Structures are given as structure tokens and as C-alpha cells.
Amino acid sequence: MEEIYNELRWNPLLGSWIIVSSGRKRRPWRRGECPFCPGSPETGYGWEVLTLDNRYPALRPDAKISRESNDVYKVEPGYGYCKVVVETPMHEGDLCDIPLETLVKYLRELARVTEELCKDASIQYVIPFRNKGEEIGVSLTHPHSQVYALPFIPPRVAVEMRNMEKYWRDKGECLLCHILRLEREEGSRLLYVNKGFTAFLPFFAMWPYEVHIYANRHVGKLAELSSEELLDLADSLKVVTAMYNNLFGFSLPYMLIFHQRPCKVEAEYFHLHLEFYPVHREKDKLKYAAGIEWGAWTFTYDALPEEKACELRAALKRAINALKNGGYDPRGKPIS
């Protein structure tokens, strides 16, 4: 049998880890046979939201390394966990198609899984994310998210933490609470606001239709949200994804990432937020992270964010009408 290796290799130039795994074979299931539908060998029956182990995880608690470190070529076991959270028994659709109560269960499950994995002494960071659409390499249409539990704090989060901490220390306030206030003052990029959460296209967006959702209250992680706030976050997810799917008249591919406080650092300055990165820049054109983005880590934005926010507002109006026609009563207000 082919040996399976899961290891971290250190990039000494960038000072960051690469997760390396071998033997992650192609998905074995046949076409037309969904591994996430109720009644499959792994799922069984009688659930609304279900967490499964990723069958071919990039990280695993019994990780084996293929070689030893040599000088600045550091190698460590790819210790960690990769979970799949099936969001609904329904085979098709997006978050906007899932009933609000099921979405709340989904969020509670993400909170529970985060807390549970954070308890592991070697886990530093737990990151739930959702990839949607073939453009992002997702072949399974059954609505699902993933959760990675990492033995290190990933670079993007580490950078955010550094800047949040600096702002907290220098100004005595939270950077994201401050950004929320700026977005409200300027108003031109705000999209949707309910009691618990605010959705907007950030001043500093990197993707054309990037949207962030910030908790209105200064909380660090999903587990700290009240029942009302969970309903408000579920509502924001429903409305924002409905907005995306009304933008061009087709189901819009995106990445969705949950940024929460790390497991072991007492980061009081950290403010829970979600980030959506859709990959389209026009109806029939994708925005590629290409030479300048990858080679320089510098993003170019080919419009004014305020213009893109206007387009999203028009889509939001259509989405709210469609949701209302479908019998859903949004908990917040679109900004126009």
C-alpha cells in the first residue's frame, strides 16, 4: 500500500508553512452518487447539519513525515484536523436556500467544532471556510463547509492580529469597531445591516465584489454570540448570498472565510468577522490573482469600490424582493 505522508515544510524566505500531503487520491465516489446526501454510507439519516471527517485530510493527528529537517529546510508533522460540515440534507443550493433555523444550527455547529478542536493542546488556530462553485474547484454541489484545525496561526490571520493589536495598544480601541464606525459614517459601501451584524464592501477590498460581515458587538468568536446574534448572522448570510446570486443572474462562486480569535492567545483585541471573496469581475470574466497579485502580493482593483457597492445594492434589492416573495422576512434593512 502507498504510504501516506502529512507534513509541514517551512518556506524560509516567506517565513511560512506549506501543508504537504501525499497519497490524497482522487475522490473515489462515482458520478451521481453524493457522499453528503442522507442515507450515504457516511451520513446515515436523521440529521439537519452534520460534521464528518475529511476522508483524505491535508492534516491529521497521526501525521507521518517523509523526511527529517535539514538546516533551514524544516519539516514538522502535518498535525491537525480537517472536517467537513454538511449544511443541509438538501442536495443543491446555497446558504440563501437553507431555512434560517437550519443556518443557526450550522453556525452553532461551527462554534462547537471550533471550541472542541481548540481544546487540543497542539492546535493554534481553527478556521471554518466555504468554497462554492466549479471556478473554485468544488466538484460537490451538496452545500458544505470545511474546518481546518492548524498547529500554527496562519499568516493572514497573524498579520490581522498584529495590526489589531497595534491599534488596540496605540489608540485604546478595537480596529474593527473603528472600521465599522467609519463605514457607517461614509455610508457609501454599506450593504445590509441588522441588529447584530453589518455587511459592507470594504474600503480596502481586494476582490471586485468582496464583502465583509462584522459583528456589531466586540466579540472574538462564534461561541460568544447570543441566540439573537446567531439569528442575525444567519440572516446576514442568507441575504448576502441571495444578493450574490442576483448579481449576474447565476449562482455566484465565492470563498467565505470565518476569522475568529486564535485558540491559545488571549487576544482581547480580536473582533469576529467573515470575509467573502467572489472570483468574478464581470458577468463573464474572472478576476485572476495573477502576476502582480502573486508575485508582489499587491492587488489591483479595476473600478472604484463605491461603484461596485452600488451594483451590489441593486442586486440586494432584487434579492430581498425574491426572499420576501419566497416567504422570508429579513431581520434587517438594505442600505440604499
Enumerate the active-site residues: 144
Residue 81: beta bridge partners? 149
Task: Reduce the DSSP state of residue 270 to 3 states and report it.
Answer: coil
Minimum CB separation from Zn ion for residue 39, in Å? 10
* 22 or 163: CB nearest Zn ion: 163
* 132 or 259: CB nearest Zn ion: 259
Minimum CB separation from Zn ion for residue 12, in Å? 26
Minimum CB separation from Zn ion for residue 179, in Å? 9
* 179 or 319: CB nearest Zn ion: 179
158 contacts Zn ion (rule: CB under 5 A): no
**In which residue are the cell numbers 501543508 written?**
19
142 contacts Zn ion (rule: CB under 5 A): yes
Contacts of 111 (CB under 8 A, 6+ apart): 221, 222, 223, 225
Residue 65: beta bridge partners? none
Minimum CB separation from Zn ion for residue 218, in Å? 4
Which residues inside 268-307 make contact with Zn ion, applying CB under 5 A? 271
Size of residue set near Zn ion by CB under 5 A: 12
User: How many C-beta atoms lie closer than 10 Å to residue 325's C-beta?
Assistant: 8
* 61 or 93: CB nearest Zn ion: 93
**In which residue are the cell numbers 493542546 written?**
121
Angle at 235 between CA 229 and CA 241, to 5 degrees: 135
Considering only residues 84, 176, 193, 242, which one is a binding residue for Zn ion as defined by CB under 5 A? 176
| Measured distance CA(265)–CA(261) in Å, rounded | 8
Q: Residues 13-52 vs Zn ion: string with x where CB under 5 A?
A: ---------------------x-xx---------------
| Greatest pairwise CA separation for the chain in angstroms | 63
Task: Reduce the DSSP state of residue 334 to 3 states and report it.
Answer: strand
| Measured distance CA(40)–CA(103) in Å, rounded | 22
177 contacts Zn ion (rule: CB under 5 A): yes
Burial of 93 (0-12, 13-18, 19+ CB in 10 A): middle
223 contacts Zn ion (rule: CB under 5 A): no
Considering only residues 100, 138, 174, 206, which one is a binding residue for Zn ion as defined by CB under 5 A? 174
Q: Determine which helix (DSSP H) or strand (DSSP E) holds 259, and give its type and residue range.
A: strand 254-259
Q: Residues 50-89 vs Zn ion: string with x where CB under 5 A?
A: ----------------------------------------
| Measured distance CA(158)–CA(315) in Å, rounded | 34
259 contacts Zn ion (rule: CB under 5 A): yes
218 contacts Zn ion (rule: CB under 5 A): yes
144 contacts Zn ion (rule: CB under 5 A): no
Residues near Zn ion (CB under 5 A) are 34, 36-37, 91, 142, 160, 174, 176-177, 218, 259, 271
